[in-house]
Each structure stands twice: as structure tokens, then as C-alpha cells.
Amino acid sequence: MPTTVLYCSDPLNERRVDAHFAPEARQLRADGAAVHLIDHDALTAGDAERAVARVPAGAGPLWYRGWMVPAGRYAELDTALRRRGAQLITDPSRYRRAHELPGWYATFAGLTPASRWLPVDPGRAPDPARLVALAAGLPAGAAVVKDYVKSRKHEWEEACHIPDLADPAALHRVVGRFVELQGEFLAGGVVLRAFEPFRVPGPGTDGAPGELRVWWRDGAPRLITPHPDSPADAFGAPGAGRDGVAPGLPDLEPVRAAVEALDCPFVTTDLALREDGVWRVVEVGDAQVSDVHRAVDPTSFAAVLTAARRS
């Protein structure tokens, strides 16, 4: 059975793939995959039936590939597709497990910075006492704040970095600002993560890159690329399965064991090189909604999706 992939349509033309993903989709079609379209705006607005109106009946198992979808909306997407004789290869429970930090953290706890979290409604920061209690579960020192899915690292001083967890005023100020800026898009709650000093993205000592993304299909590392935020010239020439990544790659066996234990079919792990030379997992995600670095050849990425599925 050929690979079938569900892409977000262009908001200005429902018959075309969103421009951000169009090169991938063209390559997949060239490789014999089927590409269908959904309306991402309709899905996130709560109208899953309208979102899947262009998916043909009986499309069978398929991958989603597009913009992030809240876990609850993803479940609604799966339900709407099943009514049309299609189903997502990554079921809703596995999507949530890989997409949200509370789902994957315990599996990767030995490989990633220490973290604690609180469920929080959008627009409502935890009160100072709850934040102090949450911070007490982390090592002393600095931390970063994020929600279950994303941080605001580009507003580092204002809404991401907490210089000292022992300073309750700073803790409450930074977390409050983070919640304010996330607004209605706050995913799940507030996460505090112990700060670990990482090398700046780009070539590190001995040519090792600062941060990279590993794409896993069925528990195997199918592609290693620069992290999407890395500069285009920060890595060496592309190599087979390692697009744009310089020598000095990490030992992936400990990460492989965690990915296998997570038991999700298509995930990404973002690895960063700590200043002491230890590679750490800084993020896990469902690869269906993970971005690809602009230097990656669409042929390499398409091969990950079209690879034979593990039975």
C-alpha cells in the first residue's frame, strides 16, 4: 500500500498544499505517495468535519504532516477521519505522549534536564505559593519556563529564563509574563526545567554541532539534521542520513532505548551539546508537527515517510 500523507492546505487556496510544506509534498508525490489536504484553520476552530471534507473516502492509514495541532483537536481529527474510512497512523494517545512534555518526560528523565509542571488554564498564571512549591522539586539555581509543548526562548530574559529559583519575585514575574504572551495558545500548563548551559548552535569543539534533530521512525534513527533554528552555514556538507550535520555526532544508543520505550511511530528528539561535552535531549516531539531545517533535501525527508512500516 502506498504511503498517504495528510497536509495542511494553503489558507488562500484550499486546493494547494501550504507553501511551507509544498517542497515535501512535491517530493512525496514524485516518490509515489498520495497527498491529501485538510483545513488547519477549521480543525483548530473545532470543526473537524469541515477540516477533512477534501479527504477522499476510504483513504486508509495516513500520516499527518503540518502545523502543530493541540492534542484534543488531534483526537477530533482522528475521529472525523475514521468516519470517512481513514485513520491516523499515530493514534491520539501516542500523539499526546510524544507532543507534550508530561507524556515523554519520565521515559527520558535520565537524558534531559530535570523538570516539574503544573496544569494551568490559558491566561491564568499559577499563584506565587504554587510556583515556589513547584520550584522546590528542582535543583537549586537557574531554570527555564515553557508550556507542555513550546517555550518563548526568543524572549529569553522576559519570558523564558529564571536566573535563580530561590527568588520568588523573579520566578513569578517570568512565569507570569510567559503565560501572558502565550495567551490562548498556552498548551496544557506551565513547566519549569532546570537550566543547563549548552553550547551556542554552530560548530563546537572538534567540529561537533551545537544542536541537532534526530528523526525516528519505528524506533530507528532515519535522519539526523541541524535543529531548525541553527544557521544555514553552521554545519558541514550534507551526508547520507545526516543532512548538514558535521562530524562529532552523539552516541544515540541511550536515546534509542528511550524512543523504543516511548512506543510512538514517528518522533523527533532535539539534542544539544552541554558545555561539559555531554549530549542532552532538550526536547521530544511528534515528528508529524516537527519542522525541518531549510538545508535538508526534501528527498531525504520523503524517504523517512515512505520507508516500509514495521509490522
Residues 128 and 177 in one domain: yes
Q: Cell for 235?
A: 554545519
Residue 94 covered by a domain:
no
What pLDDT, on a 0 to 100 scale, did the predictor assign at position 236? 46
Residues of the chain with pLDDT under 50: 202-207, 236-240, 244-246
Which of 263, 255, 254 is closest to 286 using CA atoms? Answer: 263
Q: Write out pLDDT tens, residues 212-233.
A: 999 999 999 999 998 888 775 5
Same domain, 209 and 190: no
- Say whether both 246 and 284 belong to one domain: yes
**What residues make up the domain containing 59?**
4-89
Verify that 187 and 217 share a domain, yes or no.
no
Q: Indicate if 214 and 263 belong to the same structural domain.
A: yes
Out of 194, 218, 251, pick the residue that ends a domain.
Answer: 194
Residue 254, domain CATH: 3.30.470
Question: What pLDDT sits at residue 227?
Answer: 87
pLDDT at 233: 55
Give how far the C-alpha of residue 69 lies from the chain's centroid of Cα atoms, to the nearest Å: 11
Q: Which of 169, 194, 219 is the last residue of a domain?
A: 194
Distances (CA, A) of 295 to 120, 228, 232: 37, 9, 7
> What H or E segment, with its residue span, contains residue 283?
strand 279-286
What is the C-alpha to C-alpha distance for residues 107 and 289, in angstroms, rounded to an integer? 20
Residues 214, 297: one domain?
Answer: yes
C-alpha cell at 278: 555531554
- Is 166 in the same domain as 219? no
Q: Are residues 218 and 295 in the same domain?
A: yes
> Which residues 6+ apart lie within 8 Å of 87 measured at CB?
60, 61, 62, 78, 81
- Single out the residue of 92, 214, 196 nearest to residue 138, CA to CA: 196
Q: Give the tens place of pLDDT for each residue, 60-112.
A: 999 999 999 999 999 999 999 999 999 999 999 999 999 999 999 999 999 99
